[in-house]
A and B are shown apart, each in its own frame.
Chain A
């Protein structure tokens, strides 16, 4: 089973993302802040879906810290945000999806990041 962690502070948007991931057959863990997200990341998921504008530690800082940790340095990350980043420091290997997004774009991004193994698993 594909394990996905979602860090998103808006509970409705988090619910939306979680339900789409579940429909794709993923096992989903949720965090509403960067801090709790970092705790959840100790158990390394297959994919991280990350919001940027978070209370406390923001998404870019979460990304910076997880890239600095050898355990999560190569973790695929899908950044989902309102604000398109001017540059994407540490986003590789990762992708950016602007909000609002349509289901198709989200699913394509998730598939793209999880690669062939995800499709075979399905």
Chain B
């Protein structure tokens, strides 16, 4: 090979290499540009479900962009479906609450007349009643009262669940709360040879006074209801570390161990109660637990058949709430 020939070959090889490099760069640009675009689109999809990738570039990139777009379409559709389902459920929940509220109203109107007119008969407004008539009347009155209690409980439950229950949060002294509820319930003790003992230390919780009263009223009312003559119901309140602890302890009929877990379910009634035909709606404890939970607290129960039951309510002390 002559020198001239070597030179030509060198130039030819050099040109070929340069051309190849240029072609490779162009090919790389043609690939990375659309690929980066697809990657950016996937990134943007996190915030904006409506963006889509432009389908261009080499065939494989176009296929990738099309697949990404299809996935984005499906994602957008299912997000819309989820939103519609949530909306439907919210609407159903609102309708349910409205229904319960309307039914409660509609039931209480005739009950007002039933209770009122039965009372007039009992009071002798329509002439004196004999003992047997009064006895029959009392059955009617007792059942009207049961119906009213059931309606009130259902309405309260529905209000709590729909978040419509008004809450007026103030500092509440539990000792005052306990003595108030005890005073209100004391008439139920008289003549039954029951001891209602109060041991309450002053302690403050932040909560709705009326709701906390209801919690205590339900628990003490239950204790009195399920404790036979000669028994004892003790209500204690004290500060314990960062909690205010209310306990209602009775020497009553007790709850079988396998039923304790169901106590806070609505309409559940312990067999020890139903066997003795002790009346109740089965909603009181469900309401009590929800009200305690709304105060950031919890309720515990320990029971033994024939020995008694203790309900313990633990509410956060105000300084703990501030710290949290």
Contact = CB atoms under 8 A, between A and B. Distances in A.
Contacts of A53: 105
23 contacts: A10-B112, A10-B113, A12-B113, A12-B117, A13-B113, A13-B116, A16-B113, A16-B116, A16-B120, A19-B120, A23-B125, A53-B105, A82-B105, A82-B108, A82-B109, A99-B109, A100-B108, A100-B111, A100-B115, A100-B148, A101-B112, A102-B119, A103-B120
Report the 9 A-B pairs with minimum CB-CB distance, sorted nearest first.
A100-B112, A12-B113, A16-B116, A99-B112, A100-B115, A82-B108, A82-B105, A13-B112, A103-B119
B127 to A, nearest CB: 14
Interface in B167-188: none
Interface of B: 105, 108-113, 115-117, 119-120, 123, 125, 148, 166
Contacts, number: 42
Contacts of A102: 115, 119
Contacts of B120: 16, 19, 103
Interface residues of A, number: 15
A119 interface: no
Interface string A72-89: 000000000011001000
B149 to A, nearest CB: 11
A41 to B, nearest CB: 24
A71 B177 CA distance: 43
Interface of A: 10, 12-13, 16, 19, 23, 53, 82-83, 86, 99-103
A12 B125 CA distance: 16
Which applies to chain B's interface (DSSP): helix, strand, loop or mixed? helix
A92 to B, nearest CB: 20
B117 A16 contact: yes
Nearest to B109: A10
Contacts of B109: 10, 13, 82, 99
A22 B110 CA distance: 22
Contacts of A99: 108-109, 112
Given A19-B125, A23-B125, A86-B166, A100 B116 contact: yes
Nearest to A99: B112
Most interface-central of A13, A19, A23, A82 (chain B CB within 10 A): A82
Nearest to B116: A16
Contacts of A23: 125
Given A13-B113, A103-B120, A83 B105 contact: yes
A15 to B, nearest CB: 8
